[in-house]
């Protein structure tokens, strides 16, 4: 059986699902193929943050305003029709844990033109008053616009809504990709053939396992999280970002993340990861770690690149074959805005930013 589409997307994580939305909105007939299922990779993260104050010193990230506005628009639209709440806008606090960090954070804060209402400086007393029990030295920043998101649930609702609107998701089936004259074929194991004029590889860390893209430099960085239950309701709603993060969408559970493992023997969660998370959590919120019971652990593998920027573009020798991967540790923040850029590139040939282009590796 043959089915024809304008575009077939390989991979249903943050990149693939957000791009499917953009392309179908642009009038194209799109299908998405994922052997593992929607959010089967790093995007299965139970809780992630949209936190534009990045790195150790809370630096305003790359095109943060555009990225934030785009992802919030998607979250709001998908949430409207979703059966469960998967995100909240309850802010992120970033306490400094020593004087040196506090002074660099303050320097950064003073020299940055933060969008209006995004970021406030708090001195040490204000931080500890705002969040009793938190460790803080020298102050920190408060981002009222910070978002806490159950990414896997968001993507499941997003893909369900796209399916309802006519974009098929074909999951749980292995496939082979091949070129057939002027179109691409995705041959599924059940003998269905998907024909598409264009194919976009959005397979996260596995993108470089697709032979056409074997040379793109994607580096695996494993991340582990732990979900904890508390005896009493959490006395705060916001997320905390210091030595990792904690975020919560319910009053008696929270998620603590994350490890950044550049070398690892296996992809599953382990005791070492849990010990690391507990230790770091204990350095920021000591009372919380003592009263929390472990519910479950989760792990995923991020795809990082040499300049820590995503990889977007068309294969230099295979017209109609594209890649959109390497979203690293900011895939949630980047997903909607970059999907819009990718759509303009595919449909209108608008160039992608040079520092994100696949051609930077030529
Ligand atoms: C622990 C952890 C915490 C994180 N926290 C945050 C956060 O707070 N904020 C933030 O912005 N980002 C966060 N991230 C990063 C974010 O999750 C990733 O950047 C993002 O999920 C990458 O999306 P992706 O679609 O590129 O890849 P993936 O999510 O990995 O999706 C790839 C998809 O492709 C599928 N696939 C695999 N092989 C194939 C194949 N051969 N063919 C077709 N499909 C295939 C997989 O099943 C998967 O569904 C976190 C990541 C981790 C691991």
Determine the residue of 41, 227, 269 to mutate for testing ligand 1's pocket, defined as the one with the most ligand atoms within 8 A of the Cβ atom.
Answer: 41
Do the Cβ atoms of 274 and 224 come closer than 8 Å?
A: yes
What is the Å distance from ligand 1's center to 302 Cα? 6
Same domain flag for 55 and 133: yes
pLDDT per 10-residue tile (average), the chain, 362 residues: 95 98 96 98 96 95 97 98 97 97 97 97 96 95 98 98 98 97 95 97 98 97 96 91 94 94 98 97 91 95 96 97 98 98 97 96 80
What is the Å distance from ligand 1's center to 19 Cα? 14
Same domain flag for 261 and 341: no
Same domain flag for 288 and 318: no
Same domain flag for 200 and 171: yes
Q: Name the closest-CA residue to atom 37, ligand 1.
A: 203
Dihedral over Cα of 57, 58, 64, 67: its sign:
positive
Domain that includes residue 87, residue range: 48-149+219-304
Q: Name the closest-CA residue to atom 20, ligand 1.
A: 331
Do the Cβ atoms of 308 and 185 come closer than 8 Å?
A: no
d(CA 57, CA 53): 8
Whichever domain contains 275, its CATH number is 3.30.9.10
**Long-range contacts (CB closer than 8 Å, 24 or more residues apart) made by 67-70:** 67/333, 67/334, 67/336, 67/337, 67/338, 68/145, 68/333, 69/337, 70/336, 70/337, 70/339, 70/340
Same domain flag for 241 and 353: no
What is the Å distance from ligand 1's center to 335 Cα? 10
Q: In ligand 1, which atom is closest to the CA atom of 51?
A: 9
d(CA 230, CA 224): 20
Q: Name the closest-CA residue to atom 14, ligand 1.
A: 329
pLDDT, position 290: 83
Read off the DSSP letter of residue 207: G
- Cα torsion at 9, 71, 331, 155 (round to 10°)? -60
Same domain flag for 61 and 127: yes
Q: Name the closest-CA residue to atom 50, ligand 1.
A: 329
pLDDT, position 235: 86
User: Which of 304, 329, 352 lies at the terminal end of a domain, its last residue?
Assistant: 304
Same domain flag for 134 and 104: yes
d(CA 47, CA 43): 10
Q: Which two tokens stand for residue 115?
A: 């969008």
What is the Å distance from ligand 1's center to 41 Cα? 5
Determine the residue of 48, 259, 270, 356 to mutate for testing ligand 1's pocket, defined as the one with the most ligand atoms within 8 A of the Cβ atom.
Answer: 48
Q: In ligand 1, which atom is closest to the CA atom of 329?
A: 15
Q: Give the phi and the psi of residue 332 in degrees, each rounded to 5.
A: -70, -50
Same domain flag for 239 and 141: yes
Give the residues surrounding ligand 1 with Cβ less than 6 Å away. 10-16, 33-36, 39-43, 45, 48-49, 202-204, 206, 210, 223, 225, 257-258, 300, 302, 325, 327-333
Per-residue CA distances from 36 to 71, 169, 173, 334 (Å): 24, 11, 8, 22
pLDDT, position 150: 97
What is the Å distance from ligand 1's center to 92 Cα? 22
pLDDT, position 231: 87
Same domain flag for 171 and 232: no
Question: Beta strand 140-143 with 92-95: parallel, antiparallel or unpaired?
Answer: antiparallel
State the residue for tokens 């844990």: 97
Q: In ligand 1, which atom is closest to the CA atom of 245?
A: 8
DSSP string of 209-271? GSGGGTTS--EEEEEEEEEEEESS--S--SEEESSSEEEEEETTEEEEE---BSS-S-SS--H
Same domain flag for 53 and 114: yes
Whichever domain contains 330, its CATH number is 3.50.50.60
What is the Å distance from ligand 1's center to 65 Cα? 22
Q: Name the closest-CA residue to atom 21, ligand 1.
A: 43
Determine the residue of 86, 258, 280, 302 to mutate for testing ligand 1's pocket, defined as the one with the most ligand atoms within 8 A of the Cβ atom.
Answer: 302
Q: Name the closest-CA residue to atom 1, ligand 1.
A: 223
What is the Å distance from ligand 1's center to 308 Cα? 15
Same domain flag for 38 and 121: no
Question: Beta strand 147-149 with 87-88: parallel, antiparallel or unpaired?
Answer: antiparallel
How buried is 228 (Cβ within 10 angstroms: 0-12 exposed, 13-18 middle, 19+ buried)?
buried
Q: Per the structure, how many domains does the chain have?
A: 2
pLDDT tens sequence across 143-162: 999 999 999 999 999 999 99
Same domain flag for 143 and 259: yes
pLDDT, position 361: 87
pTM: 0.98
């Amino acid at each position: 059986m043959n089915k024809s589409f304008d575009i077939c997307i390989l991979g249903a994580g943050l990149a693939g699902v957000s791009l499917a939305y953009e392309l179908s909105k642009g009038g194209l007939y799109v299908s998405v193929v994922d052997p593992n299922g929607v959010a089967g990779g790093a995007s299965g993260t139970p809780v992630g943050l949209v936190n534009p104050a990045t790195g150790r010193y809370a630096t305003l990230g790359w095109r943060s305003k555009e990225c934030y506005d785009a992802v919030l628009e998607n979250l709001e639209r998908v949430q409207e029709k979703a059966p469960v709440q998967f995100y909240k806008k309850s802010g992120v606090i970033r306490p400094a844990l020593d004087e040196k960090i506090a002074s660099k954070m303050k320097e950064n804060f003073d020299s940055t033109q933060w969008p209006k209402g995004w970021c406030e400086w708090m001195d040490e007393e204000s931080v500890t008053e705002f969040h009793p029990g938190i460790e803080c030295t020298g102050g920190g920043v408060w981002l009222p616009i910070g978002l806490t998101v159950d990414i896997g649930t968001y993507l499941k609702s997003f893909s369900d809504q796209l399916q309802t609107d006519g974009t098929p998701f074909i999951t749980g089936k292995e496939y082979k990709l091949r070129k057939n004259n002027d179109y691409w074929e995705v041959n599924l194991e059940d003998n269905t053939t998907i024909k598409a004029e264009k194919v976009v590889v959005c397979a996260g860390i596995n993108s470089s396992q697709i032979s056409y893209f074997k040379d793109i430099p994607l580096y695996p960085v494993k991340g582990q999280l732990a979900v904890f239950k508390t005896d009493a309701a959490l006395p705060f709603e916001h997320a905390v970002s210091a030595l990792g993060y904690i975020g919560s969408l319910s009053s008696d559970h929270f998620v603590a993340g994350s490890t950044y493992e550049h070398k690892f023997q296996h992809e599953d969660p382990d005791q070492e990861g849990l010990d690391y998370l507990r230790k770091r959590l204990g350095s920021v919120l000591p009372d919380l770690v003592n009263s929390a019971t472990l519910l479950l652990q989760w792990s995923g593998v991020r795809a990082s690149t040499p300049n820590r920027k995503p990889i977007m573009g068309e294969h230099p020798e295979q017209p109609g074959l594209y890649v959109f991967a390497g979203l690293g540790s900011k895939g949630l923040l980047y997903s909607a805005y970059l999907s819009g850029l990718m759509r303009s590139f595919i449909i209108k040939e608008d160039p992608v930013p040079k520092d994100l282009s696949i051609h930077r590796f030529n």
